[in-house]
Amino acid sequence: MKEQSSQLRHWRIEREPDGVAWLTFDKAGESTNTLSAEAMRELGLALDAFDREPPKGLVIRSGKSAGFIAGADIEEFTQVESAEGAKALVKRGWDLYNRLAAVKYPTLALIRGHCMGGGTELALACRYRVAVDEPGTRIALPEVMLGIVPGWGGMLRLPQVIGPAAALDMMLTGRALNAKRAKQLGFADECVPLRVMENAARMLVLSGQAPRQLPFMQKLMNGPLKGFVASQARKQVAKRARPEHYPAPYAILDIWANHGGNALAVPADKPSSMEAIYSSPTTKNLVRVYYLQERLKGFGKDSDFAPKHLHVIGAGVMGGDIAAWGALRGLTVTLQDQNIERIAPAIHRAAKAFKKKLRDDTQVRFTLDRLIPDPAGHGARQADVVIEAIFENLEAKRKLFAEIEAIARPEAVLASNTSSLKLEDIAVALKNPARLIGIHFFNPVAKMPLVEVVEGAGSDAEAFKKGLAFVRKIDKLALPVKSAPGFLVNAVLAPYMQEAMRCVDEGIAPEVVDEAALAFGMPLGPIELADTVGLDIAVAAGAQLASGITEPPKKLMELVNAGHLGRKTGRGFYTYNQGKPQKGVVGQVPAGLADRLVKPFLAAAQRCVEQGVVADAELADAGVIFGTGFAPFRGGPMNYLKEHP
């Protein structure tokens, strides 16, 4: 029986004869559920109704096919004008969820699809949780990625439910759980298929089953050993993030260990206080990065292009990994190279990656079945998208595309992964040069979220649009760029790395150069980055982007001529042991070194905006952050220039 209430726009109450009440969150006028002030107020009204007439059990579910709850309303958060306003927002959720957790009747969150932030905290305030086993179910507390903390009870309840180690890992990284993993960790009481989710929820909420208890050692870690656990976690966080750059993870540890998970209990003069977090420029810039990411996610959404078959030519590291990623994202992928021996290492590498990612032998087998060795290149005839990823030789690429055009379907996307050759120079080999676009991935493909989709001077608009849609289909962030040397990402990285190597030529130790960049906030120093990319590639990129005007760095050329190409050969600027650089002690970092390093980086980003390589400064910031890892807490290079003119 549906309970009518003119007071509720976003929630529906239905009561069944067996005493189970269903509270459905279906935010009016939106495709996604977010916890706005109005939605939270109405949740309080719904709890009032249940206080007046308590059910035998309450199931909270979503009325959206898109997911459970996406979290708090970010738009409202950005409009908060003071620390007092931020504290009021936190208090609203903290008090309401504590009220939900304290009700006498059993409560259950039925989680299907994304369950983020405040949605996860709502689920934690329920006695039981059922997760629906389908690919879209993802459960996370990603607040740290916005520079804030899970203040509506996540820091209190998640460690109590799954134990401190797993809880801190989720809260400090923003890492998501799928339904099966949620059940394994104890977050979900049940992991069930879609077809039985409502029956499973009904049975569990009426079962009288005692909530799961933590093992004895986990209880100790959540009690007397809290300080020790927090101290160890802090050491791990320090390896990835400095407190002056990213205060939120350190605040989470302090609030959990010393303030009972209650962000409101922290004194205002402490670095982990709401006042300090709200006033941190990191928070403002990370929220900006969130919106930049949302903008990139929008590219390709307006196309009905739904590719099912990808054909990749070139089974080297890049081509093989593009093919593997496509198979992982559900496409049928044919991988072509000169013979099966050249393809075999890519298949072997993919199998290892799938096993690590999927942790399910059946799924690994299904995914591998979609990755088909194709030395004869038959797949090019049926493919929706063909990506060329062979060596950087203009004549070889021209010959290949002429052959592909003759057999590919007329509506198929033809794309090159080139990073150093002009699309227009390759396209002259085609009868219809407008078909060619660039789809430029970055190494390592599985980790780098950005893909540049390149529009040549004569590229067909529909082909370009399809390229954007393809990148979105495989869950990457598509950045539209014009054809120009280095596009955006390599155009900003090359002068930065060249400047770093000139510093080494002047006698500054590689370790000191890298430390200056790390102190600025880069995820990896430029010297180690050059070693990781490959010094031979650094030479080629430098020559391409410098147009022969400047001499390449001396030490770089010495290493390349000696065959020391970086991590892949075990030696470059650093010597590598099991893939890890062996670095000496970092001495004093000269004043101004970081500014010297980033100056050409910033100038190149500005130049790309002025020359129209990207449409605007926001896209330059988005591309550089997600393509190079440029210090997200600084909001991007163009934002940094604006704040540091």
pLDDT per position as a tens digit, 544-595: 665 545 688 999 999 999 999 999 899 999 999 988 999 998 988 999 999 9
- What type of residue is 424? E
Q: Are 322 and 385 in contact (CB under 8 A)?
A: no
Q: pLDDT at position 64, please?
A: 95
Q: Which residues contact 501 (CB under 8 A, 6 or more apart)?
A: 526, 527, 530, 538, 553, 555, 556, 573
SS3 11: strand
List the one residue out of 297, 455, 308, 451 whose CA is nearest residue 389: 451
136-140-141 Cα angle (round to 5): 155
Q: Residues 137, 115: contact at Cβ < 8 Å?
A: yes
Residues of the chain with pLDDT under 50: 548
- The residues assigned a catalytic role are 419, 440, 452, 490
Beta-bridged to residue 481, according to DSSP, are 454
So where are the chain's domains?
A: 2-214, 309-483, 490-643
- The residues pairing with 59 across neighbouring beta strands, listed in sequence order, are 22, 108
Give the type of residue at 343. I
pTM for this entry: 0.90
C-alpha of 530 from chain center? 23
Q: Which residue has the tokens 């000139």?
A: 502
Q: Which CATH class is domain 2-214?
A: alpha beta
Sequence-separated (6 or more) residues with CB below 8 Å from residue 543: 552
Cα 620-489-613 angle, rounded to 5 deg: 55
Q: Measure the CA–CA gap between 334 and 384, rounded to whole angstroms.
A: 11
CATH of domain 309-483: 3.40.50.720
Was domain 490-643 assigned CATH 3.10.450.50?
no
Q: How many alpha carbons lie under 13 Å from residue 493 in its C-beta half-sphere?
A: 29
